[in-house]
Structure 1
Amino acid sequence: MENRNYSNRENSNTQRNNYKKKTYSTNFKKEYNSNSAENSDKKPKSNSFKKNTSNRFSEKSETNSYKKTYNPNFKEDSGRKKTYNPNFKEDSGRKKTYNPNFKKNNDYKKPFVKKNYTYNTENEAPKPINTEIRLNKFIADAGICSRRNADIYISSGNVEVNGEVMTTLGYRVKPTDVVKFDGKVITSEKKEYILLNKPKGFITTTNDEKGRKTVMDLVANATTARILPVGRLDRPTTGLLLLTNDGELAKKLTHPTHGVRKIYHVVLDRKLDYKDFIKIEEGIELEDGFIQVDEISYVNDKPKNEVGIKIHSGRNRIVRRIFEHLGYNVEKLDRVVFAGLTKKDLPRGHWRRLTQQEIINLKNIK
C-alpha cells in the first residue's frame, strides 16, 4: 500500500492546539503600543467619556471565572432530609394527661340562688323608692284635665288630699294618699295608646259645638280613659291618627325639635310639573316662613298627579298650602305613616291598640 505523508497533517493539528484563542473579559481594555507603527498616528480616547463596565464579576479574572460547584456523586433523591423517629406512629405524640376514671364533679360550683330583695332591718334600712308624683300630674293622669288646668283647680280649692283641702301646687302624692276632686275620689289611669285610620268627614277634636262628627265617635268603645288626639288632621284629610292619655308622649311627638316624620299620599287635580317638583324639593317661601320637605317623589305606576311627600313640620295644613302656593288643588290627602307607624292591617275607620314594642319605639324617639 502506498505510504502517505502525515507530517503536514500532524503539523497542522499541533498548530491548531497551540493556537491562542481570544478570551473575553469584562475588564478588557484595549492597549496601545506607542512604538507600533500602526498606532503611531493614533491617540487614545479621552477617559472622560469612558463607559462604566464594572459589574459583579469585575474582581474575577478571566481564568478564575465563576462556575457552579456540584457533587459528582449527587443523585436527585439525595440531599438533606427531615429527621424522624423510625418508631413514630400517627397516633403517637404528646397528649393531655387525664384520669380514665375521672368524673365531672359540679359540687365546687356555687349553686344558683334567686336574689331575695328583703332587707335586714337590724343592719341596714332599705333604700326608699320614689313612687310619688306631682299632684297636677296625678289629676291629669286621672283624665280630669291637663296639668295646666289642674294647677288652676288646685289653687281654687277643688282638690282634697286625705280629707284636707290642698292648695300647694308642688305637693307630691304618696301611694297611700286619697285624692278627691270636687268630692269624688280619683285614681291614676292606665296609659292607653290607640291608633286610628281616620276616614274623611270627621273633625279632630274632643267635642264640636256645631254637632259635627268627631274622631272621638270612632273610638268611643276603645277605652273609658280620657284619651286625646296627638296632632291634627283636617276634616277632608284621611289616614293615621294617634290618641292617648300619655301627656308626656303626646308632647314629645308634637314638638318640632324631635322632628317626627310623617308621609302623605297626595293626589292633585293635574300633573305635577317637574319645575314645581324641584321647587318643592329645594324649598319654598310661604306666608309663615320658609318650608322644605324631607323628601318628595312620584308614586310608582301611577299618573304624575300622584306624589308621596315626607315632612316633619307640624304647621297647620302645611302640605295643602305647599301645593296651593304653586297653583295646584289637592283632591286627596292621606297620611300613610306617622312616627314609624303604618296602616298595615288597619282598614279605614277602624282602630287598634299599639303593641308594647311600638310604644317603646315611640318613647325612644330623640
Structure 2
Amino acid sequence: MLKKNDTRDHLGKEKYGNKWNYNNQGKSDCNLNSKYNFQKKIKYYKVEPNSNGPIRLNRYLANSGLCSRRKADKYIQTGLVKKNGIPVTEFGTRVNRTDNITFCNSLVRSEHKVYLLLNKPKNCVTTTNDPQGRLTVMDLIKTACKEQIFPVGRLDRNTTGVLLLTNDGKLSAKLTHPRHMKKKIYHVWLNRGIDAADIKKLSKGIQLEDGGIWADDISYVNDKDKTQINIEIHSGRNHIIRRMFESLGYHVVKLDRVYFAGLTKKKLKKGQWCFLNDREVSMLYMEKFS
C-alpha cells in the first residue's frame, strides 16, 4: 500500500495527500498514432533464461501454447510427442529450439513471448470468443501479432482500463493467482456523493456474501466532487468494486482500472494498445510492484 508522499516513477502513481496523479514516465515502444494497425517496429521479447539453450520438453510444449506443463507430461508419457521423429516418453527430456518436435505428427513450434497492453473500452468483453457475437478484446488486437495471446484476468464488459494480454502462461498465473495479491487501482464514478463515514467503512472493511473485503487506500478524486473516488485493492474477486459500493447503497455509474501490477494506461486512448518493452516485462517478473 502506498503511503502519503510515496512517489513512484515507473508507470505508477504519485500521491500527495488526497491528490492522485498517474504519470507516464515509463518509456514505451507503442505507436500512439496507430489505433488498431500492426506496429511493425515492435519486437517480441523473451524473458526466459538461456532461451537459446536446451529446455525441458514439457516447457517447450507449454511455451508453444499447446497445453500446460502438467498436461504435456501426460502427452509425453503416452508417446504422443516425438523429437526428430523418435517418440519421447521420459520425463525431463531436454530439447533445443532447432529440434523437430511433433505432437500427434503435427509440428510444434515454441512461440516468442508477447506482452501487450490494452486500454480496454466500454461494451467490450474480456474473452477470446463470445457466443453472442459481441465485441471482444481479441477483436481489438487481432492485427497485433501472429502469436496466440490471451487476457490476463478479466474486466467486466462495462469496465474500462488497463488490461494485459500475453502468451506467457507463467507470468499470467503469477499476476492472477490470489496468493500474489496484485495491486489494482480504480477510478470510480458513483450515482451520488459518498460521505466520509462510508469511505471509512470501506477502509476498515465490510462483509459481503463471499467474505470480508476492504480498501487498501481510498480517497476522493477531488474535494469538490464527492461522486468520484479512487480506490486501491488487492482482491481479484468478481465484480468486487461494484459490489463493495452497492453494499452501501451506491450505484457505480462508470468504472475505470487505471493501474494493475505496476502498469498504467500511459497515453493510450480507449481501444488503443501497445507492446511492453523489456524493462516493463522485467518489472513484472521481478514483482517490483505488489
Normalised-by-shorter TM-score class: 0.7 to 0.9
Q: Considering only aligned residues, what root-mean-square deviation do their CA atoms show, in Å?
A: 2.0
Alignment map for 1:24-103 (pairs within 5 Å): none
Deviation sequence 1:71-124 (CA, Å, 0-9, x none): xxxxxxxxxxxxxxxxxxxxxxxxxxxxxxxxxxxxxxxxxxxxxxxxxxxxxx
Task: Report the TM-score, using the length of structure 2 for normalisation.
Answer: 0.76
- Paired position in structure 2 for 1:317: 239
- When residues 234 and 168 of structure 1 are mapped into structure 2, their CA distance, relative to the original with a 3 A threshold, is farther
- When residues 270 and 283 of structure 1 are mapped into structure 2, their CA distance, relative to the original with a 3 A threshold, is same
Deviation sequence 1:181-231 (CA, Å, 0-9, x none): 232222211111100000111111111233222111111111111111111
Output the CA distance in 1 between the equivalents of 2:239 and 2:161: 14
- Paired position in structure 1 for 2:251: 329
Deviation sequence 1:303-325 (CA, Å, 0-9, x none): 21110001111111111111111
Q: Specify the code of the residue in structure 1 equivalent to 2:164.
A: L
- Give structure 1 stretches of 5+ with no counterpart: 1-128
- Paired position in structure 2 for 1:243: 165
Alignment map for 1:133-212 (pairs within 5 Å): 133-212=55-134
SS in structure 1 at match of 2:226: coil
Paired residues, number: 238
Q: Specify the code of the residue in structure 1 equivalent to 2:172.
A: A
- Paired position in structure 2 for 1:30: none
- When residues 352 and 301 of structure 1 are mapped into structure 2, their CA distance, relative to the original with a 3 A threshold, is farther
- When residues 359 and 167 of structure 1 are mapped into structure 2, their CA distance, relative to the original with a 3 A threshold, is same
Shift of 1:157: 4.0
% identical aligned pairs: 57
Structure exhibiting the larger radius of gyration computed from Cα positions: 1
- Paired position in structure 2 for 1:272: 194
Output the CA distance in 1 between the equivalents of 2:109 and 2:154: 29
- Give structure 2 stretches of 5+ with no counterpart: 1-50
- When residues 355 and 210 of structure 1 are mapped into structure 2, their CA distance, relative to the original with a 3 A threshold, is same
Which 4+ runs in 1 deviate beyond 6 A?
none
Shift of 1:263: 0.7
Aligned 8 A contact 2:126 2:151 in 1: yes
Aligned 8 A contact 1:260 1:312 in 2: yes
Deviation sequence 1:146-190 (CA, Å, 0-9, x none): 334434443454322221233444332234532012322222111
- When residues 217 and 302 of structure 1 are mapped into structure 2, their CA distance, relative to the original with a 3 A threshold, is farther
Task: Report the TM-score, using the length of structure 1 for normalisation.
Answer: 0.61
- When residues 169 and 287 of structure 1 are mapped into structure 2, their CA distance, relative to the original with a 3 A threshold, is farther
Q: Specify the code of the residue in structure 2 equivalent to 1:323.
A: F
